[in-house]
């Protein structure tokens, strides 16, 4: 039963990210079910894999909340790495290239791009490997260190990566740069009530941060083109209406997560904050 629940949690995380991705991109790129279900299938598999490794009791609300963010963070990291360093596609449809580039100039040489991607991956693995080492070492850090430094690690990686990709083309925005680390620290604080694992806190906080920022940018400003499509023609105007059919799925998942959090916070704390 736990494995089934873990899979459902993963499927929900994937459906959430697939929906905002489709909502913002479909008018420019069109819609295919293969692309829409890509994140859903990947996240469902990650949910089961995470449960097999950690054996979380996902019948508990606090572990459901933790696992959702954890799977969300890993799925987003995998997809962003794939789109940046592994995928090769026509970049002329984008205002901001999605493949790795230096000041807007795409690195076309695949071997060079793979080499840079390998270095980037090693750097990320070192950061989160150190976080995992802290878990294995049972080092009891002060809660504020765990939340504001360890918990926000993913947010800083996202901030620097986003600045590298976007700033040379659309300019550097101080608020935008610090947005991810600050929101990640906030979610790390929330998750720290439910787990004492620094890795769960860091990756889960990143997952919820992406979900929150993308919700804000996608649904609070639906008529504003995303940066990567700024100035580009809407080639599939029928998707402006069709995409609305998927919004209830998105709302239901958010409501489920909020309700899960309310139930979890009403129970005895089982995380880092319980011992602080």
Give me the pLDDT at residue 271, please. 78
Find which of 150-154, 245-249, 264-268 is predicted with most confidence, using mean pLDDT: 245-249
Give me the pLDDT at residue 95, please. 74
For 182-227, what is each residue's pLDDT tens digit? Answer: 999 999 999 999 998 999 999 999 999 999 999 998 888 766 766 6
C-alpha 232/C-alpha 273 separation (Å) is 47
Instruction: Reply yes or no on whether the pLDDT at 276 is more than 60.
Output: no
Per the structure, how many domains does the chain have? 1
C-alpha 17/C-alpha 19 separation (Å) is 5
- What mean pLDDT, rounded, does the chain reach? 87
Structural domain boundaries enclosing 222: 2-275
DSSP state of 60: S
More confident residue, 155 or 115: 115
Give the tokens for residue 65. Answer: 């909340």
Contact 19, 250 (CB under 8 A): yes
Strands (E), the chain: 101-102, 105-106
Give me the pLDDT at residue 47, please. 95
Q: Is the pTM of this model over 0.85?
A: yes
For 36-92, what is each residue's pLDDT tens digit? Answer: 999 999 999 999 999 999 989 999 999 999 999 999 999 999 999 998 888 877 777
Give me the pLDDT at residue 165, please. 74
Q: Which residues in 6-43 are b (16+ Cβ under 10 Å) and which e?
A: bbebbbbbbbbbbbbbbbbbbbbbebeeeebebbbebb
Share above pLDDT 70 across residues of the chain, in percent, rounded to a whole number: 93
């Amino acid at each position: 039963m736990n494995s089934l629940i873990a899979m459902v949690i993963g499927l929900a995380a994937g459906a959430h990210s697939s929906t905002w991705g489709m909502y913002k991109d479909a008018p420019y790129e069109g819609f295919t079910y293969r692309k829409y279900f890509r994140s859903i299938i990947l996240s469902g598999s990650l949910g089961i894999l995470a449960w097999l490794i950690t054996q979380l009791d996902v019948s508990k609300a606090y572990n459901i909340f933790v696992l959702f963010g954890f799977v969300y963070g890993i799925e987003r990291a995998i997809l962003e790495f794939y789109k940046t360093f592994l995928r090769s596609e026509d970049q002329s449809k984008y205002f901001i290239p999605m493949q790795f580039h230096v000041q807007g100039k795409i690195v076309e040489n695949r071997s060079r791009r793979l080499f840079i991607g390998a270095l980037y991956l090693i750097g990320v693995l070192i950061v989160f490997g150190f976080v995992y080492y802290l878990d294995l070492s049972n080092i009891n850090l002060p809660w504020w260190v765990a939340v504001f430094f360890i918990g926000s690690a993913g947010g800083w990686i996202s901030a620097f990566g986003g600045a590298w990709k976007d700033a040379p083309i659309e300019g550097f925005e101080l608020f935008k740069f610090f947005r991810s680390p600050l929101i990640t620290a906030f979610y790390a604080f929330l998750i720290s009530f439910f787990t004492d694992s620094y890795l769960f806190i860091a990756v889960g906080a990143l997952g919820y941060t992406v979900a929150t920022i993308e919700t804000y940018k996608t649904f609070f400003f639906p008529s504003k083109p995303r940066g990567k499509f700024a100035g580009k023609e809407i080639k599939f105007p029928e998707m402006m209406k069709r995409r609305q059919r998927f919004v209830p799925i998105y709302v239901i998942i958010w409501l489920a997560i909020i309700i899960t959090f309310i139930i979890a916070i009403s129970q005895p704390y089982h995380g880092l904050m319980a011992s602080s």
